[in-house]
Each structure stands twice: as structure tokens, then as C-alpha cells.
Amino acid sequence: MRCFNHFCIMLLLLGGSLGPGLAEPVEHAEVRGLAAAPPALAESEPSPEEAVVLSLSEAVAAALAQNPDIRATRAAVKAADYRVDQAGAVYSPTLDFNNNFTHSESSQSSGGVVSNGLLLSSQGRSGNSRDVLSSSLSARATLFDGTREPTLRRAKENLTAAEFEAESTAQELIRKVRELYYQTLLDQELVRIQQQRVDNVELRLQQAQGFYEAGTAARIEVTQAEAELASAQLEAIRAEALLQLDWVQLNVLMGTPGQQSYQLLAEEPGSVPELSVEEFMAVALDERPELQSGWARIRAQLAQVDASSAARWPTLSASAGYNLNGQPTPLDRTWSAGLILSWSLYDGGLNRARAEEAKATAEQLAEQLQSTSNQVYQEVATALTAWRTAEAQKTTADAGVRAAEQNRFLASERYRVGVGNFLELSDAEVALTEALIESARAGNAARAASAQLARAVGLVDISQVRLEKAL
């Protein structure tokens, strides 16, 4: 399942403590596809009639490619990878070359007249110069160092943790993009609903004015229609303002701050399997990157315990050297080879204290991992409950829309033939608008809950959960 999860993230980019209930994973995560180029959304500012079509997968791909949080996690993974190289470098020998050339001159006086300790005259001066060349080539290799293996193991586990943390950041970004994409779709629908209400009220106002002029309706029906029209126009303005804020937030998540609007596609998420909270939690224990990262941090800390304990043992190194020294010609040639044994016999308890500190830190990380596991369970249960509630509300809301449409139709016909009044029709219009809004919100709540459940379980697509995986 984890391979499928990674594969889905890559396709989105290219396509445009240890308490009860926790089981240590055996697979490590990799951050794949985060460097892929984002899809081209628009080369220039399109006209409203030519709005750029933006699918959910394209929005997610753009965010994963351009969001600065993703770039930061990529850099963190790269830094951790280089730390692995640093830790592994101790297994290789070192080779050093040194070259030194020295030129010196000296002079000396001979003979002369001295009076009262002063040199009054000199009869001669001699000079001497000397060139010295020194070159050396030395090599050194560590034959035994008990800290090498645990240090390298610790670096590798920290790299694994960084990869899982990058995957967690990517999954969280995907959730935010999906929820905002669905919210924007909802707000677009609310704008349409409010505008439809404005159009309906304008029509009713024209009818009321006609009835008033014909003497079959009172003036108050005209003023009531005018007041309702003003209220409907105000709600339409508010809905449009919320939609404009959605565009800003969506563009920021995609790493392209601006107010560009798009033509979004009404895409439904995959179906949610009929599983219990415990079955979803069984999947989350294996898939949630935060849990995998916690395990990697614990293993890294246990490696630090081993490294601190091994520091009390001696280290053994071999060295060899070849030297050329003297005047340019001829040069004295020497070579050397030897073994170096280094052993700290007493350090005041420093290494023991470091090992105990590492153990205590590992215990702390284990408790934090258990706390994270509890939080994951809460997130899974909350998201699943929200999805089931939203699905039930959607069914009820759809039934309410059908009833409100029928009621509005009857009220409209009664008003048109003169047997109904404007208040009856106005109430029917408001009830239909509210029913449409509730239906749209229920549908959005179900889509958002599906995205939250996928994030809680640690998957890209919640529909890919298999019962055998949960068991």
C-alpha cells in the first residue's frame, strides 16, 4: 500500500512507546517526484470567457512542485543525505600531500678595527644562501573504531525520518489543496444560487409592479419585493467576495500568489470503504508518515546510545608516509609505516553520561510516538464520523431541495394566477435558496471529510484501502 501511496504522489506531480497497538514498520519512505515541473496553468491573463480549466490533480501537482514548504522539505532531505555521506566517510582512508620550499640567505663580517668596543672599519663580508625542499605523502586508515557503525546507522535513520517528514508535509499540503478546491467549488455554487435568487426576485418584482398597476395588488407587495431584492443582492455580493478570497488562498497554496481564477471541475473523490475506526486505524499505523518518522527517530537515538557506549573502547589506525627532504638535488628519501592505538582510560564518566542521556531521549521519543498514535486515532475517528454524518445530511438535504422546488413551483403558479400572495411566494423562494445551500454544503462536507480521512489514514486516495490491509 505504501508503494501505491508513493506512486500516486509521483503521478500527481507528473500528471498534472512503543505502547500497545503500535507495530514497528520494516519499510522506509522515500520522497519521490517532488522536483517535477508544475503544469502550465496560464501563459497570460485570460478573459472571463476563457478561464483556464484547473482539475484537482493539476492543482495538487502545482502545489507539490512550487509550494515553498515542499521545497524546504526537499532541502532538509538533501541535507540529511549529505550527513550520511559524512558519517560514511570515516570508512575510507585519508591521503594528504604536503610540499614546502624554503630559501634563506645569511651574511658574516670578518676582520676590522675595534676601539672602545666599536667597530671602526671592516675588512670583509661573506654571504651564504640555502634552498630547502620538503615534500611528503601520508596516508591513514582507521582499522577499528566502535563508534563508526552506530554513527552511520544514526545518520541513515535520521535520513529516513527526514524522508517521512517530507512525505507528511506533502500529504498535509494535498489535504489543504483538496479541501480548498472543494470549498471553492462550493462557493462558486453559492454564487450561482444567490444570483439565481436575485434573478427570481427581480422577476417577482416585475410581476408585483404589473399587478399593482393593474389594480390587483397593493403597493406593499412592490415594496416587499424591492426590499427582498436588496437583501438578495447583498447576499450575492458577500458570496462573490468569499469566492475571490478562495482564489487568493488556492493560488498561494499552489505557490503562485495572485487572484487568478479558474474553471474548476466538479470531481467526486473515491468511495470510502465500509470499514470501522479500528480497521482504518490498522492501516494508519502502517501508513501515517508521522508514525514512521517517530520510529526512525527512536532507532536513531538508540544508535546514539551504541555510539556513546562504544566510545569507551580503543581505536586502532594504520599510517604510512613517504618524505623527500633537503636541497633540490639530491633529496633525502625516507618512508615510514606504523600502527596507532588510542584508548581513553578515564574521561570522568563523560561517555557513560552521554549514553544515559541518549537512552532517556529515546524514552521521551517513545512516549511522544504513543501520543502521536493516540492523536492519529482521534483524527481517524473524527474524519470518519464527519464523513458518515455528511453523507446522511446530503441525502436529507437532497430530499429537502426536491420538496422546496415543488413548493416554490406551486407558490409561483398561485401568485401568477392571482390566488396566492407575495409573502407566500417570498417564503417559498427563501426556503428553496436555503435548501439548495444546505445541499451544496452537505456535499462539500462529504468531500472534505473524505480528504481528511485520507490524510488521517496516511494515504493519497482513501478508496484504495483494502480490507485485507486493514486486518
E strands present in 68-180: 94-110, 113-115, 118-121, 124-144
pLDDT score at 457: 92
Q: For each of the chain's 471 residues, which pLDDT tens digit applies?
A: 554 455 444 444 444 433 334 444 444 444 333 334 444 444 444 454 567 899 999 999 999 999 999 999 999 999 999 999 999 998 999 999 998 888 877 766 555 555 555 555 555 555 677 788 888 999 999 999 999 999 999 999 999 999 999 999 999 999 999 999 999 999 999 999 899 889 988 888 888 888 788 887 788 888 888 898 999 899 999 999 999 999 999 999 999 999 899 999 888 887 888 889 999 999 999 999 999 999 999 999 999 999 999 988 999 999 999 998 877 667 788 999 999 999 988 888 888 898 999 999 999 999 999 999 999 999 999 999 999 999 898 889 889 999 999 988 888 888 777 777 777 888 888 888 888 888 888 988 999 999 999 999 998 888 777 654 444
Tell me which H or E stretch contains 341.
strand 332-342
Q: Which fold has domain 2-22+50-66+145-312+347-470?
A: Outer membrane efflux proteins (OEP) (1.20.1600)
Name the β-bridge partners of 322. 137, 335
CA–CA distance, 391 with 76 (Å, rounded to integer) = 40
Question: What whole-number distance in Å separates Cα of residue 271 and Cα of residue 57?
Answer: 17
pLDDT at 217: 73
Helix (H, G, I), strand (E, B) or coil at 101: strand
Which pLDDT value is given to residue 102? Answer: 84
Model pLDDT, residue 21: 43
Q: Which uninterrupted H or E stretch holds 188?
A: helix 148-214
pLDDT value of position 116 = 58
Q: Give the domain ranges of the chain.
A: 2-22+50-66+145-312+347-470
| Strands, E assignment, 48-206 | 52-54, 94-110, 113-115, 118-121, 124-144
